[in-house]
Amino acid sequence: MAARKRKERLAEEKVFKDPVHKYIYVQDHLIWDLINTKEFQRLRRIRQLGTSYLTFHGAEHSRFSHSLGVYEITRKIISQFERGGYTDWPAGEKLIALCAALLHDIGHGPFSHSIEDVFDTNHEEWTCRLLLEETEINAVLKAYDSSYPERIAAVICKTYHEPIVVSLVSSQMDADRMDADRMDYLLRDAYFTGVNYGTFDLERILRVLRPYKGRIVVKESGMHAVEDYLMSRYQMYWQVYFHPVTRSSEIILRQIFRRAKELYASGYTFNWMIGPLEQLLAGRIDIEGYLALDEALVQTVFSMWVNEQDEVLADLSRRFLNRKLYKYVTMDDADDQLWQEIREQFKAIGLHPDYHLEIDFPYDMPYDVYRPDAADAAGKEEKPPILLLGPDEQLSEISERSSIVRSITGIRQGKYHLYYPEEPLRESAAKLPANMRELFAFM
Amino acid sequence: MAARKRKERLAEEKVFKDPVHKYIYVQDHLIWDLINTKEFQRLRRIRQLGTSYLTFHGAEHSRFSHSLGVYEITRKIISQFERGGYTDWPAGEKLIALCAALLHDIGHGPFSHSIEDVFDTNHEEWTCRLLLEETEINAVLKAYDSSYPERIAAVICKTYHEPIVVSLVSSQMDADRMDADRMDYLLRDAYFTGVNYGTFDLERILRVLRPYKGRIVVKESGMHAVEDYLMSRYQMYWQVYFHPVTRSSEIILRQIFRRAKELYASGYTFNWMIGPLEQLLAGRIDIEGYLALDEALVQTVFSMWVNEQDEVLADLSRRFLNRKLYKYVTMDDADDQLWQEIREQFKAIGLHPDYHLEIDFPYDMPYDVYRPDAADAAGKEEKPPILLLGPDEQLSEISERSSIVRSITGIRQGKYHLYYPEEPLRESAAKLPANMRELFAFM
Amino acid sequence: MAARKRKERLAEEKVFKDPVHKYIYVQDHLIWDLINTKEFQRLRRIRQLGTSYLTFHGAEHSRFSHSLGVYEITRKIISQFERGGYTDWPAGEKLIALCAALLHDIGHGPFSHSIEDVFDTNHEEWTCRLLLEETEINAVLKAYDSSYPERIAAVICKTYHEPIVVSLVSSQMDADRMDADRMDYLLRDAYFTGVNYGTFDLERILRVLRPYKGRIVVKESGMHAVEDYLMSRYQMYWQVYFHPVTRSSEIILRQIFRRAKELYASGYTFNWMIGPLEQLLAGRIDIEGYLALDEALVQTVFSMWVNEQDEVLADLSRRFLNRKLYKYVTMDDADDQLWQEIREQFKAIGLHPDYHLEIDFPYDMPYDVYRPDAADAAGKEEKPPILLLGPDEQLSEISERSSIVRSITGIRQGKYHLYYPEEPLRESAAKLPANMRELFAFM
Amino acid sequence: MAARKRKERLAEEKVFKDPVHKYIYVQDHLIWDLINTKEFQRLRRIRQLGTSYLTFHGAEHSRFSHSLGVYEITRKIISQFERGGYTDWPAGEKLIALCAALLHDIGHGPFSHSIEDVFDTNHEEWTCRLLLEETEINAVLKAYDSSYPERIAAVICKTYHEPIVVSLVSSQMDADRMDADRMDYLLRDAYFTGVNYGTFDLERILRVLRPYKGRIVVKESGMHAVEDYLMSRYQMYWQVYFHPVTRSSEIILRQIFRRAKELYASGYTFNWMIGPLEQLLAGRIDIEGYLALDEALVQTVFSMWVNEQDEVLADLSRRFLNRKLYKYVTMDDADDQLWQEIREQFKAIGLHPDYHLEIDFPYDMPYDVYRPDAADAAGKEEKPPILLLGPDEQLSEISERSSIVRSITGIRQGKYHLYYPEEPLRESAAKLPANMRELFAFM
């Protein structure tokens, strides 16, 4: 026991150079050892923003750098809580919180949204498996304290007995808070895409956070800083995360996976296959296979599939690799009848509506702009998301106080986008009826 | 002819958001079409800084973004020349220069230095092949002007009849100038690694460049800005490009390739192989294979080879993927006798000196710090590299005028580094003689 | 005539190093000569943000640097118009627009708002006098073209025959547009105060501006960039320009001037007086006096008045110089009766309500947040301020299209602030009735 | 005693928004009270860079902001020492060091170098007087601890019994170290002028500083960061601090003071005079006068003196206010004979060589580039300035280890500059002999 205690702190603090936080400081042996596991190193081969690099060429940063960033922000918040001596912060939870911050994305696979959609996997489940089953991470955690794997998994699954630790690290699934995860990704994604929005005053926000009755709240005097953070988030969503070109590449990606899954199910023989992907297609992927399934592997698969005899699969793979994405038209509204008519017309000119057509509505995407009522709607949580702490300890929800936040809250500005391959449609444009030619602007 | 002219300029300028230059502006149809070829899009899958991301986790940017950056700097320099009305700039060469700037790195493979070392390939040769043989790039260029493929290849191979175009874009092989290539990579690598050095005043340097008798020279009043640029370069070399951890990962990479080449030559049957790599090992790689050989493919190969029965290859692959790099010790000097003795000792304890040991001297690396005499020594060129243009049109070499540049010029501060796998050596440390134990600090 | 043409362009472009725009480029002799007049150099002695440096210590930048910045933005916009070849921009107006941009603030005195309030002067009138009467600026302009003084004055007074020139430079008095003046001051004030807000993407906005039928409008695709600019403006107003500490210092300043004016009118003999100020107090200030009346002079006056026998004047002067500002309490609402009661109570304990008490409502201040309806209300203008230009040349007002802009538009979040000197009130707190003690939090 | 302890820490940390350090944190009542004294507030009226704003218009920042910055850097260094638990840092000295950092420039007058030159005053002496005599600062310090005024004065005068405190804050007079003073001014001056150089990695440097046997030394692994800092300093000296236009304005300033001093001594009656300046001219300035003598007052004096009947004084005052500075020519070498000849020629054409001519050699200026031998030469100190601390606690001087530092050390690149008023010389150019016409380029 004494031996373990002696090695808890690194003899000398380690630092990582980081463009967003300047430096990331590691002071604990445990954190250092977790970073050096193969499961954590694998995050270097998974991009933070999926296919966004096809729209913003600088966005090639990995989940490895984001995970370090979430860790660093969490570390700074807890340091501030400790310096302030706030009794609402549970003193013994620091290391648990740091581990959870570092590891919260460990289960992400390549291009998660598309793969999860098609194969019904779930990165949170994988995170838990990587914590609890036989992995280097599990071994490192257990060597430190045998209860750590379960406790950290509980934080990430939001069942931990100290809700404030959950609230600090990430609250992705239920509602819309201000946590270390979001603060890092907004700053980091803004930096690597090169856009201006997304640069709020992190230092000021960290200074006004307070632990309060099991939650992280914001000192009232920090309201304007939170407004600024929420406005940054709003701009990032509409200008980066929901960018129609990125959506187009995600659609193609999903269709590649769907097509491959269907072909596999139908007994099609692939010219080229690789173990981890076959496991995925067969629905029996194990930990070793999942860990090997990184973005490098997926891209290699596509570069081989450009020569598959199934022309749909080959075409989609070429489109993704060579960035010949689908074009889109914008529709204010869409009804099922129009939708059906377009499908029929596509078929009539020899296109494949299941693969050559997709209607997309950004609002349905797995991202969140600030919506304090979302939690209630989902029925999971009763308290509203960002709370301001006034001078006499009364709490108020920020949108009650800030009209700018109220205005963002109500916004639903998504339009429908209809995605399709331009060349084949253009070639057959003459055969389309007038309303179709108008819709796709072939006049 | 009229038709071609009509489509030369894009109806509306296109822009790319770029973190380094804010925006990259495309005004010519030809440039836009080149960017959309599959050979250019492939540069998205090749990192600008090879393995540096293992040291600086932000350095995940691609040659795609660097190539756009070199294009943009070249565009800005030529605009300035045109606005200034300098007659020494050959008016008709703008588009040739822009194409050459954009395409100068098109032949780079994954982790170029290591692969070129082991397989004796050459990325400049590949660039020429991709320009001149049957590729989308070649087709786009020829459609514009049938002489373009050859002319652009001549610029990149430095045989072009207008030497100022060569001097503007890149002068990588002979000597040490200030060109668009270097200016972009210093700024870009500094941005993505997050280091402070490397941020010189690009706008000021662009303003003091002048075309003069077939060369790009610098107005004398810009001397301090050039000093600053050279100091940035000096710091980037020693702190980023020559970083010993990056060197360690390059050594492992080279040894993987060497081992695979030897195994292949000896008739070893690989558990897992993929077409383009087999072509490379067999020394008969064709254009299609070369284009498929990107960093995604190489990493996928390694992730399969961790299970090869050849333990050396499997171990090296694991080390690279999981970032279990070789450690190093620093030696002020190294003689062949000591070197031989170390090899013997490694053998004696069961290690494989060809793979478990490497002596490295940064000075030999294919990078250049500013050395005005290098050109003479190589006998290729008589004029010294960065020239200042005085008020009465006399030229002087910058190191004659700037003592700070003189001082950088003379510096040879590389030490020998000895790289080795720590664990196996540590386990056998007791069997080593005292001088070895001291060298590796096992006491 | 030939002679004049020959000297229009500087032989070599001049540059100013500027922290906001990196460099400011001067290409015309006329602009260079205007910068070197004593009237323009005087702007170095007048701070851009008045007393804000007492809240944000970095905000010590002058109207000189802002004026150069407005010139530079105007120059960039016109260059873009010229490159784009837009026929709605009147080709011959470039130099007039540049001069007007440079000189638009030339008539500002020290701490303009306070002085204009008390002495009923007007900086726009002074700008016109400095352009039209005997000054170095007038001489420089006339030497270039005898019609220039009148034409530039017309732009600044918004009576110029080409409304687009007015719209480009500044539209300060009527309504709320996006002009070079505002774009520079938001960026500049954010830079020097060090706040995060206020940094919108200038380069993108400049790219989407278009001249259109006598106005500057914005290409529809730039809507998000304009949203971002308006959100920056919103944040700057509430966090910098309306900061209550800055308001407190402006109140003290105004009271010093009011007291001095009253004393002068009553025949009081000042221990210390200086020519230009005496002219101001006597209501007969001439051009020479006005030019000498800079912030240095005003501060020197205060440093002498700390020893005046009139204790009110001496106390206020000390407060300003030594930054012993008035404190404030916030009131949701204020009625005349309460206001009267407070005045009575102040008198009762020996305070001077005219000087020791001020009710302030930010909404009344001479700044503008974006309000498209303001123009109508004022009856001066019918068209709404920021117009988007759609693909088929239809115009729409931005708040019709952007819900975020609509939300800012409606916001009236100012509360009443009651300013007072803390110490004397605290000393007499016991004598105040309970409701007063509660209001001022003396419990 | 208990009462005092209770109020040592502020109930809530205060922050200043600062463009260089983002925020400046005040945690101690004593520091807060010192900032609010009138002597410290006066630093707002004294520019950090004297007349540099006439060359770099952004450089209008005050000694107030610099003093806060030095305090903040000192605070960060000590926090790091405390966190590291280094026993060589004397635990009880924190508050003394913070006070000394904050107050080290308190004695600076307006345009210190010129005034100290002409009137033989000394800002360090004034700092001590303001600490020790009857001032608000003295009262605040004594109220906290009666020994504080003397102890802080001792730190600033470098006689303090704990040399490490002196070494931390500032070491301006003897030698060339790395202290909080220099680190803040390089970063701050770079920020406000807008130049690129001068931005070294402060966070990294702070991390490698160590207290060691009464000195601040640098961990060897931080050598490259120190190189970068010294290169920044080198560039700032030659491009900002020694800028010839700034030198020209300093020369005019000094000549104004010299002329006024001579006129006063000769019994000349000034049309306009003000108390504090008369005290200075008469050599009997007291504390109250010195405090009133800020840059506002000096500029006001000049704006009045433009109307003095002494034409030399009036002309110089106009030149300074309206920025009609002296021009300069560069001379590689200067001998007394040439110098004498120029003086004679100036006299011959009616110019006043004492006021219209000045030979300037930057090397003599009261700034320091890094020279480790300077200390020895001055005989004041034996140890060389920046020391690196190796892994086994051996110290080495940085220029022994870094060739880049060695190279900066040896540089003496100053040339002689001859300053003179252009117009009168040009008017009489025809009367000058050929060698003079050539020297001043009148051909």
ipTM, interface predicted TM-score of the complex: 0.92
Assign 3-state DSSP to chain B and report helix, strand, coil percentages, each to 5.
60, 10, 30
Same domain, B217 and B117: yes
- Contact status of C45 with chain D (Cβ, < 8 Å): yes
Residue D378 has pLDDT above 60, yes or no: no
Question: Could you tell me if D359 and D414 are in contact, meaning their C-beta atoms sit under 8 angstroms apart?
Answer: no
Residue C223 sits in the same domain as residue C87: yes
Confidence of residue A366 (pLDDT cuts 50, 70, 90): very low
pLDDT of residue C144: 96
Could you give the angle at which helices B148-156 and B94-103 cross, rounded to 10 degrees?
Answer: 60
Of B369, B322, B353, B345, nearest to B421 by C-alpha is: B353
D404/B408 touch (CB, cutoff 8 Å), yes or no: yes
Mean pLDDT in residue range A354-360: 91
Residues of B with CB below 8 A from A324's CB? 36
* Chains sharing 3 or more CB pairs under 8 A with chain A: B, C, D
H helix or E strand, kind and range, residue A138: helix A136-144
Q: Is D125 on the interface with C (CB under 8 A)?
A: no
User: Which residues of D are less than 8 Å from A15 in CB distance?
Assistant: 207
Is the pLDDT score of A252 beyond 90?
yes
Average pLDDT over residues B362-383: 44
Given a contact cutoff of 8 angstroms between Cβ atoms, the answer to whether B44 and A53 are in contact is yes
- Out of C15, C23, C203, the one facing B22 most closely (by C-beta) is C203
| Overall average pLDDT of the D182-195 stretch | 95
Which pLDDT value is given to residue D403? Answer: 76
**B84, B138: one domain:** yes
Mind telling me how many Å the CA of D106 is from chain C's nearest CA?
Answer: 15
Closest alpha carbon to C52 in C67, C43, C36, C63: C63
D144 and D223 both lie in a single domain: yes
Distance from the A102 Cα atom to the nearest Cα atom in chain C, whole angstroms: 28
Contact C247, C417 (CB under 8 A): yes
Residues C224 and C257 in one domain: no
How many residues would you count in chain D?
443
**pLDDT given for residue A380 in this prediction:** 43
**Structural domain includes residue B290:** yes
Q: Please name the member of C22, C204, C207 whose beta carbon is closest to the beta carbon of B203.
A: C22
From the CB of residue C343, how many other CB atoms can be counted at a distance below 10 Å? Answer: 15
Residue that has been written with the tokens 């430095």 in this structure: B158
Size of interface C-D (CB pairs under 8 A): 116
Q: 3-state class of B28 per DSSP?
A: strand
Is B267 in the same domain as B194?
no
Tell me what the mean pLDDT of segment D387-406 comes to.
Answer: 84
Report the percent of chain D where pLDDT is more than 90: 62
Q: Which residue of D has its CA nearest to C192?
A: D19
Mean pLDDT of A216-235: 88
Counting one residue from chain B and one from chain C, the pairs whose CB atoms sit within 8 A come to: 10
C195 and chain D: CB distance < 8 Å anywhere?
A: yes
How far is C235 from chain D, CA to nearest CA, in Å? Answer: 15
Q: Is C157 a residue whose pLDDT tops 90?
A: no
Least confident of A183-192, A434-443, C17-26, C378-387: C378-387
Query: Is residue C372 situated within a structural domain?
Result: no
| pLDDT of B375 | 41
CA distance D115 to chain A (A): 41
Cα D68 from Cα D21, distance rounded (Å): 10
How far away is chain C from the Cα of D277, in angstroms, using its nearest Cα? 12
Question: Closest by alpha carbon to B193, among B153, B245, B156, B264?
Answer: B245
Residue B67 predicted with pLDDT over 50: yes
Chain A residues in contact with D15 by the CB 8 A cut-off are 207
Which of C271, C297, C360 shows the shortest CA–CA distance to C45? C297
Instruction: Using CA coordinates, name the residue in chain B closest to C83.
Output: B13
Number of domains, chain D: 2
Closest CA to D70 of D100, D45, D90: D100
10 Å CB burial of residue D188 (0-12, 13-18, 19+) is: buried
**What distance in Å separates the CA atoms of residue D309 and residue D272, rounded to the nearest whole number?**
11
Q: What integer pLDDT is reported at residue A158 of this predicted model? A: 85
Q: What range does the domain containing D342 cover?
A: 251-364+415-439
What's the rounded mean pLDDT across residues D151-177? Answer: 79
Give a yes or no: residue A275 inside a domain. Answer: yes
Is residue A105 very low, low, confident or very high in pLDDT (cuts 50, 70, 90)? very high
Q: What's the N-to-C CA distance of chain C in angstroms?
A: 79
Q: How far apart are CA B49 and CA B59, in angstroms?
A: 7
Nearest chain C Cα distance for residue A408, angstroms: 6
- β pairing state of B358-360 and B209-212: unpaired
Prediction pTM value: 0.93
- pLDDT bucket at C361, cuts 50 / 70 / 90: confident
Is the Cβ of C147 closer than 8 Å to some Cβ of chain D? Answer: no
The pLDDT score that the predictor gives to residue B441 is: 82
C55/C58 Cα distance (integer angstroms) = 9
- Candidate from A196, A235, A404 with C-beta closest to C408: A404
CA distance D25 to D76: 10
Those residues with Cβ within 8 angstroms of residue B265's Cβ, 6 or more apart along the chain or in another chain: none
Q: Which tokens sit at D404?
A: 């880049």
Establish if C224 belongs to a structural domain: yes
The alpha carbon torsion through B179, B183, B188, B193 (nearest 10 deg) reads 110
Q: Which residues 6+ apart lie within 8 Å of A72 measured at CB?
A: A18, A21, A24, A25, A184
To the nearest whole Å, the CA of D297 is away from the closest chain C CA by 5
Q: What is the pLDDT of residue D179?
A: 87
Q: Kindly report the nearest CA distance between residue B216 and chain D, in angstroms.
A: 23
Q: Which one is predicted more confidently, C442 or B29?
A: B29
How do residues C392-441 score in pLDDT, each as one tens digit? 888 888 888 887 787 777 655 567 889 999 999 999 888 999 988 888 88
Query: Which of A207, A214, A188 lies closest to A199 in space, CA to CA?
Result: A188
Pick from D15, D23, D203: CB nearest A22 = D203
What is the mean predicted confidence (pLDDT) over C296-324? 97
pLDDT of residue B390: 87
Q: Residue C25: closest CA among chain B residues belongs to which residue?
A: B207
Q: Which of residues 396-435 of C touch A (CB under 8 A)?
A: 403-404, 406-408, 410-411, 413
Q: Does A279 touch chain B (CB under 8 A)?
A: no
Instruction: Give the per-residue pLDDT at C413.
Output: 58
Out of B294, B320, B346, pick the residue that ends a domain.
B320
Tell me the average pLDDT across B82-89: 92
Q: How far is CA C215 from CA B428, C161, C169, C171, C395, in A?
A: 81, 12, 11, 11, 11
Of the candidates D22, D203, D207, which has its C-beta nearest A203's C-beta? D22
Is C195's Cβ below 8 Å from some Cβ in A? Answer: yes
**Structure tokens belonging to residue B271:** 């558990």
Q: Would you call D44 an interface residue with chain C, using a CB distance cutoff of 8 Å?
A: yes
Interface test with B, best of C18, C22, C80, C199 (most B CBs within 10 A): C22
pLDDT for residue A383: 41
Question: Hey, what are D432's tokens?
Answer: 């000058």
Whether A408 sits inside 8 A of C413 (CB atoms) is: no
Per-residue pLDDT tens digits for B296-348: 999 999 999 999 999 999 999 999 999 999 999 988 777 788 889 999 999 99
Residue D374 has pLDDT above 70, yes or no: no
For residues D419 and D255, what is the distance between their CA atoms, to the nearest angstrom? 12
Least confident among A5-19, A89-103, C14-28, C367-381: C367-381
Q: Count of A–C CB contacts within 8 Å?
A: 47
Same domain, yes or no: A93 and A225: yes
Q: φ, ψ for residue D207 (rounded to 5)?
A: -75, -25
Please determine, for residue A177, whether its predicted confidence score (pLDDT) is greater than 80: no
Cα–Cα distance, C34 to B276 (Å, whole number): 67
Chain B residues within 8 A of D199 when measuring between CB atoms: 196, 199
CA C301 vs CA C250, C295, D292: distances in Å: 16, 10, 11
- State residue B176's pLDDT score: 46
Which helix (DSSP H) or strand (DSSP E) does residue B301 occupy?
helix B295-305
Is the confidence at residue A254, as pLDDT, over 50? yes
CATH assignment at residue A81: 1.10.3210.10
Taking only the tens place, the pLDDT of each residue in A296-330 is 999 999 999 999 999 999 999 999 999 999 999 98
Residue D7 sits in the same domain as residue D150 = yes
Residues D325-339: what's their mean pLDDT? 85
Segment C22-34 mean pLDDT: 97
Q: What length is written for chain A?
A: 443
D332: Cα within 13 Å, side-chain hemisphere: 0
B224·D234 Cβ contact <8 A: no
State the pLDDT at residue C412: 59
| Residue D206 domain-assigned (yes or no) | yes
Decide: D216 and D168 in contact? Cβ < 8 Å. yes
Task: State the pLDDT confidence band at B406, using cuts at 50, 70 and 90.
Answer: confident
Q: Which helix (H) or strand (E) holds B23?
A: strand B22-28
Range B13-38 average pLDDT = 96
Return the minimum-mean-pLDDT range out of B145-154, C246-255, D326-335: D326-335
Q: Are residues D191 and D106 in the same domain?
A: yes
Does residue B419 sit within a domain? no
Same domain, A342 and A430: yes
Contacts with B1 (C-beta within 8 Å, 6 or more apart), sequence order: none
Query: What pLDDT digit, counting tens, does each position of D22-42 carry?
Result: 999 999 999 999 999 999 999
C11: nearest CA in chain B?
A: B84
Question: Does B146 map to a domain?
Answer: yes
The tokens describing C319, both together, are 């407060």
Are B189 and B152 part of one and the same domain? yes
pLDDT of A376 higher than 60: no
DSSP state of C420: E
Which residues make beta-bridge pairs with D23?
D17
Whether residue D65 and residue C45 make contact (CB cut-off 8 A), yes or no, is no
Looking at the domain assignment, is residue D87 inside a domain? yes
Q: How close A21 comes to chain D (CA, Å)?
A: 11
Residue C322 has pLDDT above 50, yes or no: yes
CB contact under 8 A, D294 and C274: no
The percent of residues in chain D predicted with pLDDT above 70, rounded, is: 90
b/e per residue B79-108 (b: at least 16 CB within 10 A): ebbeeeeeeebbeebbbbbbbbbbbbbbbb
Mean pLDDT of chain D: 88
CB A219 within 8 Å of CB A210: yes
How distant is the Cα of A70 from the closest Cα of chain D, in angstroms?
A: 20
Q: Considering B287, B320, B353, which residue would you say is the last residue of a domain?
A: B320
Average pLDDT, integer, range B142-171: 91
Scan residues 2-41 of C and list those with Cβ closer than 8 Å to B. Answer: 15, 22-23
- In the three-class reduction of DSSP (H, G, I as helix; E, B as strand; rest coil), residue D419 is classed as strand
Mean of pLDDT over chain C: 88
* Minimum CA–CA partner of D203 in chain B: B196
Alpha-carbon span A311 to A317, nearest angstrom: 10
Give pLDDT, residue D317. 98
pLDDT above 60 for A364:
no
| CATH number, domain containing residue B274 | 1.20.1250.30
- Do C43 and C113 belong to one domain? yes
Strand partners, A328: A419
Retrieve residue C105's tokens. Answer: 């603030």
Higher pLDDT, D48 or C443: D48
pLDDT of residue A68: 98
Contact flag A196-C197 (C-beta cutoff 8 Å):
no
For A237, what's the count of Cα atoms within 13 Å in the CB-facing half-sphere? 21
> A203, exposed or middle or buried, with CB in 10 Å at 0-12, 13-18, 19+?
middle
